[in-house]
Amino acid sequence: MRRRRFFLIGGATAGVCLFGFALFAILERQVQHRLEDEFPADGFTQGKGREARSVRFSLGRRTVEFEGLKVAQPRGFGTGTVIRVRTLFLNFPFSTLFNPKVLRFRDVRFENAVVVLIRDDSGRWNLEAFSKSGALDSDRPEGAAGKGNDTSETTSTRSLATKAAWPLVVLDRVSGPLTVRIRDSQAVSELRDIRLRFEIAGTNLTTLPLPAEETQWGILTGKGKIEWSSGETPVAWTLRLGSGLFEGRVSFDFSVETGDLPKVLAAAFLGNTLDVTGRVERIRAAGEGVVRDGQFDESRSRIVFRLNGVRIGKRIVPELTIPVPIGGAVERPEFRLEPALAMLGAQLFEMELRERLTR
């Protein structure tokens, strides 16, 4: 009797375990197929506007790995990619599977990630196209064939495109080498195509529009260099980011410091106000800022330019320090030149006075 009961209990336990394993395998296979459908290897040809050479999903390890991930430029910005990543590794908690509206990742690592930002002649940036309703429908590459004109997309895709510009994401940790290419048709000729190469690291980053104490804000740091047509310079920066990134009015603090910048910046930035038409031996910059609810705090936000060997009219000034306050909204920052020029005038007057006293 006891032996029979033992076999019954053992059999029932084995059956439950086998059922659980089968359910586990079915769920893993379904998610794998869903990812392959969302990021097919020929996604650009299908008109999806996104593709990946391979996708591997593991429910047991709670990981997703992409190879050759690409996202096409939105319509009107050419046929290239806005994002491409050689490898992308995501580690997630089980809660992400049961609450897909909020994508939480414990660890995000990537290799050779490239983001291409483009501003056209009208002043519109490519990322603005993704922040509008229906952006996911218009992100397919121009001239795509196949299913590019098919409007029978999945309900979840249409819903996401209609309801939100950006997904709700929580990133516990993120790291990897990142290149940001900026193609700005409105910049001075030497700076219309620049590259920012960083090794970035971040913790506690989120787009959830939830209140959070400043002591709990996320941190994102970057160290690398800026490259332009005729040179490069080192740069390091730190961002303290409040919750709700990309959602509503953002709040953040920042600090940045560069090495020698392209000399054309001196003429471009001050040439209309001062006669900075001659040589500039060196120009460097350091900045810090505070943004609350999408607005710069002008009393605590500024860029400090340090210039050496500047020709102003017929006069050569060995060294100039010009702090430029920043005001206005994040989308349209305003650089307050008037206080900077008043301080510059005081510096020039002091130099003139010293020269006269030493004669």
Cα torsion through 121, 126, 127, 133, rounded to 10:
100
**CA pair distance 292, 315, nearest whole angstrom:** 41
213 residue type, one letter: E
Beta strands in the chain, from DSSP E residues, in sequence order? 50-51, 54-58, 63-72, 81-91, 102-105, 107-119, 168-184, 193-206, 218-228, 231-241, 252-258, 280-292, 295-296, 302-312, 315-328, 333-335
Which residue matches tokens 């930002």? 117
Which pLDDT belongs to residue 348?
A: 67
Q: How many C-alpha atoms does 153 have within 13 Å on its Cβ side?
A: 21
Q: Which amino acid is at 21?
A: F
**Structure-token pair, residue 110:** 């990537």
pLDDT of residue 217: 86
Angle at 139 between CA 94 and CA 150, to 5 degrees: 95
Q: Of how many residues is the chain composed?
A: 359
Per-residue pLDDT of the chain in tens (359 residues, 90 and over written 9): 555 655 556 555 665 556 555 666 777 788 888 888 999 999 888 888 899 999 999 988 899 999 999 999 988 888 889 999 999 999 999 888 777 778 899 999 999 999 999 988 888 888 877 765 444 444 444 444 444 444 333 333 333 333 444 568 889 999 999 999 999 888 878 788 999 999 999 998 887 776 667 777 889 999 999 998 888 999 999 999 887 665 556 788 999 999 988 877 766 665 555 555 556 778 889 999 999 888 999 999 999 888 887 766 666 777 878 888 899 988 788 887 776 667 666 666 676 667 667 76
DSSP-derived 3-state class of residue 356: helix
Q: Give the pLDDT confidence score for residue 343 in this predicted structure.
A: 67
3-state secondary structure of 17: helix
Cα 156 to chain centroid, rounded: 25
pTM of the model: 0.75
Q: For position 293, what pLDDT does the model report?
A: 84
Q: Determine the pLDDT at residue 199.
A: 95
Tokens at 253, concatenated: 């603090």
Q: How far apart are CA 173 and CA 94, in angstroms?
A: 17
Whether 88 and 52 have beta carbons less than 8 Å apart is answered as: no
Burial class (CB within 10 angstroms; exposed 0-12, middle 13-18, buried 19+) of 123 = exposed
CB atoms within 10 A of CB 205: 21
CA distance 82 to 84: 7
Give the pLDDT confidence score for residue 324 in this predicted structure. 86
In this structure, what is the dihedral angle of CA atoms 65, 148, 76, 179, given to the nearest 10 degrees? 10
pLDDT for 275 equals 52
- Please report the pLDDT score of residue 347 as a whole number: 67
Q: What is the pLDDT of residue 143?
A: 44
Task: Name beta bridge partners: 203.
Answer: 173, 219
Nearest C-alpha neighbor of 173 from the set 254, 114, 109, 85: 109
The answer to whether 219 and 204 have CB atoms below 8 angstroms apart is yes
Here the tokens at position 122 are 């009208």
Q: Which of 253, 207, 30, 212 is nearest to 105 (CA)?
A: 207
- At residue 132, the pLDDT reads 54
